[in-house]
Amino acid sequence: MSSFLYECEVMHRRLRPEQKRFDYRIFMLSVELDDLPKVPFLGLNRFNLFSFNERDHVDLGRPGGIRANLMAWMEEQGITCPSDARIRLITLPRVLGYAFNPVSFYYVNSRDDKPLFAIAEVCNTYHEMKLFLVDGEKSRGWQRKVAKDFYVSPFSDVRDSFDFQLGLPDETWAVNIDNADKEGTTLVSAIRGKARALSAGRLLWFGLKYPLLSLKVILMIHWQAFKLWLRKVPYFPKGANQQSQRDVLRPHSSLDSSDE
């Protein structure tokens, strides 16, 4: 299957300064950028029950859609990628036109399907975006610890690090993204997915099983943040440490270039 769905269990566990865990279930699209699916109830760059819209992903203002813009980003970063590489994107769909993707994943393979590296596309609630290359080989996937330099949560410092561990997409799929400060891991996040066929019937069923999926995700993020705020967990304002928020795509007005 060139395109399918992952039915996923998501876990977030905060270790410091407060211990807190919450779990929820979602589903994600897994598509090849050169072979986007045409399935009832899944719109491509148009409204539907669920939809896949290219403007929700990396956009450097280049024509040619996600693939051309991602290839341009890789070239700017000095990343060597064959022009005929196969690129798989795993992401949340839009639901009734509403989009929110906390993190999406690009898996880049050679034309003969040899895994080359992965890229994590992280977005925050300000609609900013940042791409992270994950290219350290591990058994059945990729791993890399990298400076975050990006505002994701008001309860994590932008100067922390991400530790990405991205399993290869197959019948099952596993991802871990941990947040760490100088003293160690502060937040553990995991996605565990099982492949499901992409069909009109499955999309209709998931529309009932996971109602208002994207809206549910962002509401849960704000609800958990509110509970941490009530517990007086240290808070990092968006406008602080602007100089540490680097390589941000779609920068919010809170990032004043004059301070960089």
Give the whole-angstrom CA distance, residue 20 versus residue 175. Answer: 20
Q: Find out whether the peptide bond into 17 is cis, omega within 30 degrees of 0.
A: yes
- Cβ(190)–Cβ(174) under 8 Å? yes
Edge-to-edge strand order for the sheet containing 94-95?
42-44, 50-52, 94-95
Domain ranges in the chain?
4-254
Q: Is the pLDDT of residue 70 over 60?
A: yes
Distance of CA 68 to the CA centre of its chain: 19
CA distances from 217 to 75, 93, 175 (A): 33, 12, 17
Percent of the chain with pLDDT over 70: 98
For residue 259, name the pLDDT band (cuts at 50, 70, 90).
Answer: very low
DSSP, collapsed to helix, strand or coil, labels residue 238 as: coil
| Residues with Cβ within 8 Å of residue 255, at least 6 apart in sequence | 242, 245, 248
Lowest mean pLDDT among 38-47, 55-64, 213-222: 213-222
pLDDT tens for residues 119-151?
A: 999 999 899 999 999 999 988 999 999 999 999
Q: What is the pTM of this model?
A: 0.93
Residue in this structure with the two tokens 């269990």, named with its chain if needed: 9
Lowest mean pLDDT among 61-70, 72-81, 113-122, 143-152: 61-70
pLDDT tens for residues 4-24?
A: 999 999 999 999 888 888 899
Mean of pLDDT over the chain:
92
User: Which pLDDT does position 257 carry in this prediction?
Assistant: 53
User: Which pLDDT does position 260 carry in this prediction?
Assistant: 40
Retrieve residue 166's tokens.
């991205």
